[in-house]
Structure formats: structure tokens, C-alpha cells
């Protein structure tokens, strides 16, 4: 089990190129099940993406990765089931469901895994597929057996919540369905727009109204396309926060600044100087951040839930009191226990977390509770006085390409040790001097 060894009191400085967006690449790979030969560029090298490629191969696609480019070639036949080991490896495996039913008229999958962020039901996905003509029954405990005996049928769908995954599943199911599907209350995240751009490039007929309604006119079949995945706005936001927390400066390159507006607004208000160019953002952090005010997570274009933990790490050492309201997930404060170990002052009541900034955090023995919570813990440890050891970093590998390498290139005192850490909580172990790994 790998660990990070963090020296503390780092100051970030330099520039970093941001990789392609995990949450755009995953649904695009799921959609490749129903497309012709595709070339997917800027596809990030992450463990979640590796799972998606395994699922694609299992479903009968030949997949070749060369650097950041993935080539997919759909073979005849293929399986309509996803084994439990792949389904349980990540939440996004459920987004393959619509494509499998579109291709085979049936599918068999178990319930998806992913980060523990509280309840993560899939009722919106299933209700929509049912309305499109899919019969769904549960076999045993947790296997979904789906069939569409008369094929998928376009319909009117009003989502009770703008679920990102459900919107993606419906779009993929609808592109080759009979007739027109209209989704109101759909998610509007940039990753959804990227999926739509990919599918339209393959010959789909999808339009987005100014009111956010997505209309999909079913087509007979899809051809292939060469598509470049959009930059990862959450990875970009994480590096910007790294500079903000450590009183450093960073230029994130190859980004879409328009996707970062809500995050930049908070960092700007907290005293950071922000300069945006067409595809980069330069941020300079103050010696100590001001309080962040009230940070409410909301569907896009609101402040993203995926940035909540990282911004909370910034609030932990800022002046004054910041208040977080997590509106998307009901269990996304698991990182708080780790920030408390560093000396943060955070009180959680249900969906609200009140963070009173302390002048200095100290190092500690920490673990990553989930992907973004793990990134938050790393940034807090970088700003702290004294060394830290951070375990369970596999969560970070799901969403950041070589996270410690990128931070080290920016001047951070962090390194990854692949050997198993023996649980020694001695501070000298964290410093690396007498560490037993
Ligand atoms: N929800 C339901 N029923 C459903 C679907 C969702 O109640 O059928 C609820 C969820 O329980 C949750 C809320 O709706 O409370 C939002 O869920 P959503 O479906 O929008 O999220 P997701 O598709 O599971 C994606 C991202 C997450 C990101 C959320 C919200 C991917 C692969 N994952 O998840 O990313 O937090 O949208 O923006 O796109 C991450 O990258 O760290 C991550 C967790």
C-alpha cells in the first residue's frame, strides 16, 4: 500500500499542465460501446479510466492506449454483462448501462461502487430507462437484469434532480432509440456538453436549449470520431488551491477558465490575485487567506461538490470563519476527521460545516477518505508545520495523474513510497529520517 510522505510548509510555485477530465472521459468511453472506431485524445491516465477501458474490452471493444490517446474499435458480438469486480470498482460503471441496452437490447449488471459519499442511489437512471421501454428486475441481491424487447423508445423525461450520471445514461441510451427524447431538469456540467460533442461528432442529433432542455433525435447508427477530452476543471481547481493555501503561485495550463468561475470567485474573495488567459489561469496566494464566506455546493454552474473538500482545506488555515453547505451529497464530510487531526477547527452539523481558521496546522498521520477528500488532506499537510504521512492514496490515483510528482515539480515537499507503511506514528518516521517502510 503506497503512502505519501509530506514535509510540510511547502510553497507552491511554477506551472502545471492539466490533464483531461476524468468525469468527461468516463461517459465518453461508455458511449464508445455504440460508436464506430474512435480516437479519444487527452484521455487521462487514471485508475478509474483503466477500469472503464477494462469494461469496454469486456463488452467486446478492442482498446489500445498510446500515451494520452485511446483508440476504440467495436468488434462484432460482445457481452451484455459487466462482472461485479468491474462494476464495484467505480460509480461510473453504471453509465455503461444505457449503451449496453442500446447495443444488445438487454444488459445484466450489479450495483456500482465508487467513493463513499453517503447514499448514492440510481433510481433516476432506472426510472428513465423504464420510461424508454426497458424492463428491469433485480435478481438475487443487487444484480439488475434489463431487457428492451421492443428496443429503446424516445420519450419526455423530467428529472427530479439534475443527476450527472443519469443525464449521461439517458443521452447514450437515446441516441439510437426510436423517436425523440427530451430531457428537462438535466445536468448542465461541462462534462455533459463534452459527451454531447463527442456523440454529435459520431453522427448523433443532440441539441441543448437555452433553458437547459436536451433534445435527442434518435439516429439509425453512429460512426466514429476523433475527439479531444476537455481539461479537468477539478484537477485545475485543486492546483489553484494548492497555491492559495501555501501562499505560493501557480499557472494552470491547458484549462478552460470559463469552467472554473465559481472556484475562482471564492479564491479571489479570499485574497488571491487571479489572472485568466484563453487557456490558462495564474493565481498568486496571499501570506494568509481571508475567510471564504458561505460556500454552497450546487449543480453547475454553481460551486462544484468535487471542490468542497479542497476549498475546506484552504478555509482551515484562513483568517476568520467560513461556512460550507453540501447540497449534492449527504455524506461528503469524511475528510473533516483528517483535517481535525492536523489541528483544524471544524464543526459539522448535518449538511453544514463551520470552519474557524487556525493560524497554523501541524503535521499528522492521515488517510485519504475518498478521492477529493484525499486531495484536500494532502494540501492541508503541505501547508502545515511539520511532517505528515498519508495512507490510502489509491483514492487519489482515481482522479489525479501522478499527483505527488506534479506537486513536487511545483516545489512541494512530497514523495510517494510504494512500500507498505508499518504504522509507526513517530514524527521522525514521517520526516523520512528513520522511517520503516
Ligand atoms: N442521485 C439520486 N438518484 C440517482 C442519481 C443520483 O438520488 O439516480 C443523487 C445522488 O445520490 C447524489 C446526487 O443525486 O446525492 C448527485 O449525483 P449525480 O448522479 O449527479 O452524481 P454522479 O453522476 O454519481 C458525478 C461525478 C462526481 C460528482 C457528481 C456531482 C462522475 C464520474 N462522477 O457523479 O464526481 O461529484 O457527478 O457533480 O462524473 C469525483 O470526481 O470525485 C466525483 C465524485
According to the model, what pLDDT value does residue 421 have? 53
According to the model, what pLDDT value does residue 260 have? 98
Task: For the chain, give the mean pLDDT.
Answer: 93
Residue 422 pLDDT > 70: no
What are the residue ranges of helices labelled H in 278-411? 308-316, 336-341, 371-383, 394-397, 403-409
Residue 429 pLDDT > 90: no
Atom of ligand 1 nearest to the CA of 119: 11
Residue 259 and residue 236: Cα distance in Å, rounded? 10
Count of beta carbons in the 10 Å neighbourhood of residue 166:
27
Residue 51 and residue 70: Cα distance in Å, rounded? 13
Report the candidate in 243, 349, 171, 389 with the shortest Cα–Cα distance to residue 378: 389
376-397 confidence digits (pLDDT tens): 999 999 999 999 999 999 999 9
Residue 79 and residue 58: Cα distance in Å, rounded? 7
According to the model, what pLDDT value does residue 92 have? 86
According to the model, what pLDDT value does residue 116 have? 53
The pLDDT confidence band at residue 433, using thresholds 50, 70 and 90, is very low
Positions annotated as catalytic residues are 115
Rounded to the nearest angstrom, the distance between the alpha carbon of 165 and the centre of ligand 1 is 6
Q: What is the CA radius of gyration of the chain?
A: 22
What beta strand segments (E) does 18-168 contain?
38-41, 61-66, 69-74, 106-110, 135-139, 143-147, 156-158
Whose C-alpha lies nearest to ligand 1, atom 22?
A: 165
The pLDDT confidence band at residue 430, using thresholds 50, 70 and 90, is very low
Q: 3-state class of 297 per DSSP?
A: strand
397-411 confidence digits (pLDDT tens): 999 999 999 999 999
270-325 confidence digits (pLDDT tens): 999 999 999 999 999 999 999 999 999 999 999 999 999 999 999 999 999 999 99
Report the candidate in 347, 359, 367, 348 with the shortest Cα–Cα distance to residue 423: 367
Going across the sheet that includes 249-253, the strands are 13-17, 249-253, 280-284, 273-276
202-243 confidence digits (pLDDT tens): 999 999 999 999 999 999 999 999 999 999 999 999 999 999
Residue 118 pLDDT > 60: no
Residue 435 pLDDT > 80: no
Count of beta carbons in the 10 Å neighbourhood of residue 223:
11
Whose C-alpha lies nearest to ligand 1, atom 24?
A: 165
Whose C-alpha lies nearest to ligand 1, atom 39?
A: 23
Residue 72 and residue 225: Cα distance in Å, rounded? 10
According to the model, what pLDDT value does residue 140 have? 79
The pLDDT confidence band at residue 89, using thresholds 50, 70 and 90, is confident
Residue 120 pLDDT > 90: no
User: Dihedral, CA atoms, 231, 237, 239, 242, nearest 10 degrees?
Assistant: 180
9-39 confidence digits (pLDDT tens): 999 999 999 999 999 999 999 999 999 999 9
What percent of the chain is predicted at pLDDT more than 90?
87
96-113 confidence digits (pLDDT tens): 999 999 999 999 998 876
The pLDDT confidence band at residue 436, using thresholds 50, 70 and 90, is very low
Rounded to the nearest angstrom, the distance between the alpha carbon of 329 and the centre of ligand 1 is 8
Atom of ligand 1 nearest to the CA of 114: 44
Whose C-alpha lies nearest to ligand 1, atom 27?
A: 306
Atom of ligand 1 nearest to the CA of 161: 14
Amino acid at each position: 500500500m503506497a503512502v505519501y510522505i509530506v514535509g510540510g510548509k511547502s510553497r507552491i510555485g511554477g506551472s502545471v499542465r492539466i490533464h483531461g477530465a476524468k468525469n468527461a472521459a468516463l461517459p465518453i468511453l461508455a458511449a464508445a460501446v455504440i460508436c464506430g472506431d474512435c480516437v479519444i485524445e487527452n484521455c487521462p491516465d487514471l485508475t478509474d479510466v483503466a477500469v472503464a477501458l477494462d469494461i469496454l474490452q469486456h463488452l467486446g471493444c478492442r482498446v489500445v492506449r498510446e500515451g494520452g490517446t485511446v483508440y476504440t474499435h467495436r468488434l462484432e458480438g460482445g457481452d451484455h454483462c459487466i462482472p461485479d469486480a468491474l462494476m464495484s470498482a467505480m460509480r461510473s460503471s453504471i453509465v455503461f448501462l444505457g449503451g449496453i441496452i442500446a447495443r444488445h437490447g438487454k444488459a445484466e449488471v450489479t450495483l456500482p461502487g465508487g467513493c463513499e459519499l453517503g447514499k448514492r442511489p440510481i433510481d433516476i437512471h432506472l426510472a428513465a430507462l423504464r420510461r424508454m421501454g426497458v424492463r428491469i428486475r433485480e435478481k438475487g441481491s443487487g444484480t439488475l437484469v434489463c431487457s428492451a424487447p421492443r428496443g429503446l423508445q424516445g420519450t419526455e423525461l423530467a428529472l427530479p434532480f439534475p443527476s450527472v450520471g443519469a443525464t449521461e445514461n439517458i443521452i447514450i441510451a437515446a441516441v439510437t432509440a426510436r423517436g425523440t427524447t427530451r430531457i428537462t431538469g438535466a445536468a448542465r456540467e461541462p462534462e455533459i456538453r463534452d459527451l454531447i460533442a463527442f456523440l454529435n461528432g459520431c453522427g448523433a442529433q443532440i441539441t441543448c436549449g437555452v433553458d437547459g432542455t436536451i433534445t435527442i433525435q434518435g439516429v439509425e447508427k453512429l460512426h466514429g470520431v476523433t475527439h479531444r477530452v476537455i481539461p479537468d476543471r477539478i484537477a485545475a481547481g485543486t492546483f489553484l488551491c494548492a497555491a492559495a493555501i501555501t501562499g505560493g503561485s501557480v499557472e494552470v495550463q491547458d484549462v478552460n477558465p470559463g469552467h472554473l468561475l465559481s472556484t475562482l470567485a471564492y479564491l479571489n474573495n479570499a485574497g488571491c490575485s487571479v489572472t485568466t488567459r484563453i487557456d490558462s489561469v495564474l493565481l498568486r496566494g496571499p501570506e494568509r487567506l481571508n475567510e471564504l464566506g458561505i460556500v454552497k455546493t450546487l449543480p453547475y454552474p454553481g460551486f462544484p461538490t468535487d471542490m468542497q473538500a479542497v476549498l475546506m482545506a484552504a478555509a482551515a488555515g484562513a483568517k476568520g470563519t467560513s461556512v460550507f453547505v453540501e447540497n449534492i451529497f449527504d455524506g461528503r464530510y469524511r475528510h473533516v476527521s483528517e483535517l481535525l487531526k492536523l489541528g483544524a477547527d471544524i464543526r459539522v452539523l448535518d449538511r453544514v460545516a463551520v470552519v474557524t481558521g487556525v493560524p497554523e496546522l501541524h503535521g499528522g498521520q492521515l488517510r485519504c477518505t475518498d478521492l477529493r477528500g484525499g486531495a484536500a488532506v494532502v494540501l492541508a499537510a503541505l501547508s502545515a508545520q511539520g511532517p505528515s504521512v498519508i495512507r490510502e492514496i489509491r483514492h487519489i490515483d482515481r482522479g489525479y495523474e501522478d499527483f505527488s510528482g506534479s506537486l513536487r515539480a511545483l516545489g512541494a515537499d512530497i514523495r510517494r513510497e510504494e512500500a507498505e507503511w508499518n504504522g509507526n506514528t513517530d514524527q521522525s518516521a514521517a520526516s523520512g529520517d528513520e522511517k520503516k517502510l
